[in-house]
């Protein structure tokens, strides 16, 4: 667990929270286990906050934990050390969860028929390749418009070489073990936002096909990072089992 003190002694813990990837659960645990103030940048204030940050006015000098739906790239703007992490999620489940959330929160997210959100630019950056759009960014703003393989390659590099750690939502507790070990934290599972929405296993074939086609880069990113995640777990298991680390 981080201890209180100056920013030189205590790196900022920065969570790149891609929408609908267990962020509420992670943030709850972080607020309880990371000393110092926590700040969550909400979408309505995001553009203004990013502009202040670029101008050196992000007001985070005393923050211990920072999270938000910003894209990758804000840690170079922060004038203090930062330990960074994110979570990825099966893109089909992430897309369904995002549509369910957008229906509940039309004041924040693009909303409408899922077919339209998946196949038009109106759904950017929340409905087609959301994870690549967030992680391939270089200035905190998720990428909009057409994507290319270069965006996928950058997202892969960001997750596996630039971030301090990362997790996979489908393996949540093992992910916390890995993140705790690599960031020196003591995060514990906090279950939040249990949903009764349909899962990808029960949706109609037409929608499943649309989700698949609209998220090809995210699917490649997920599979690439899942393999890297398992390799990291194997390295940690040489010293201690994931279950033991989870309950330290």
From 136, 126, 61, 140, select the one nearest 95 (Cα to Cα).
126
Domain coverage including residue 71:
12-246
In angstroms, rounded to a whole number, what is the distance separating the alpha carbons of residues 214 and 132?
12
Query: In this predicted model, what pLDDT tens digit does every residue of 85-110 receive, in sequence order?
Result: 999 999 999 999 998 899 999 999 99
In angstroms, rounded to a whole number, what is the distance separating the alpha carbons of residues 114 and 33?
38
Query: In this predicted model, what pLDDT tens digit does every residue of 174-188 receive, in sequence order?
Result: 999 999 999 999 999
Residue 10's pLDDT is: 73
Judge whether 75 lies within some domain. yes
In angstroms, rounded to a whole number, what is the distance separating the alpha carbons of residues 142 and 133?
5
Query: In this predicted model, what pLDDT tens digit does every residue of 213-228 receive, in sequence order?
Result: 999 999 999 999 999 9
Judge whether 235 lies within some domain. yes
Residue 1's pLDDT is: 31
Taking the chain, what is the end-to-end CA distance rounded to the nearest angstrom?
11
How confident is residue 240, by pLDDT bands cut at 50, 70 and 90? low
Judge whether 105 lies within some domain. yes
**Segment 40-69 mean pLDDT:** 89
Query: In this predicted model, what pLDDT tens digit does every residue of 198-214 receive, in sequence order?
Result: 777 788 899 899 999 99
Judge whether 217 lies within some domain. yes
Structure tokens at 75: 């840690």
Residue 172's pLDDT is: 94
**Segment 57-78 mean pLDDT:** 89
pTM score of the predicted model: 0.89
Judge whether 125 lies within some domain. yes
In angstroms, rounded to a whole number, what is the distance separating the alpha carbons of residues 161 and 57?
28
Query: At 178, which CATH number?
Result: 3.40.50.300
Judge whether 4 lies within some domain. no
> Mean pLDDT for the chain?
88
Judge whether 2 lies within some domain. no
Number of domains in the chain: 1
211 neighbors 95 (Cβ within 8 angstroms): yes
Judge whether 5 lies within some domain. no
């Amino acid at each position: 667990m981080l201890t209180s003190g100056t920013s030189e002694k205590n790196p900022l813990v920065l969570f790149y929270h891609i929408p609908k990837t267990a962020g509420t659960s992670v943030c709850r645990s972080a607020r309880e286990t990371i000393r110092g103030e926590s700040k969550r940048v909400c979408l309505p204030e995001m553009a203004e906050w990013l502009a202040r940050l670029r101008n050196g006015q992000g007001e985070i000098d005393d923050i211990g934990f920072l999270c938000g739906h910003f894209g990758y790239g804000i840690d170079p703007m922060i004038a203090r050390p930062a330990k960074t992490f994110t979570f990825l999620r099966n893109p089909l489940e992430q897309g369904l969860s995002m549509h369910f959330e957008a229906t509940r929160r039309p004041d924040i997210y693009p909303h409408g028929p899922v077919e339209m959100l998946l196949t038009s630019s109106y759904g950017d950056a929340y409905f087609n390749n959301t994870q690549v759009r967030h992680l391939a960014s270089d200035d905190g703003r998720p990428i909009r418009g057409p994507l290319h393989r270069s965006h996928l390659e950058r997202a892969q590099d960001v997750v596996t070489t630039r971030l301090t750690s990362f997790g996979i939502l489908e393996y949540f507790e093992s992910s916390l073990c890995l993140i705790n070990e690599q960031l020196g934290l003591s995060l514990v599972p906090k279950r939040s936002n249990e949903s009764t929405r349909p899962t990808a296993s029960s949706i109609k074939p037409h929608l499943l096909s649309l989700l698949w086609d609209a998220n090809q880069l995210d699917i490649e990113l997920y599979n690439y990072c899942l393999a890297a995640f398992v390799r990291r777990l194997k390295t940690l298991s040489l010293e201690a089992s994931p279950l033991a680390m989870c309950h330290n």
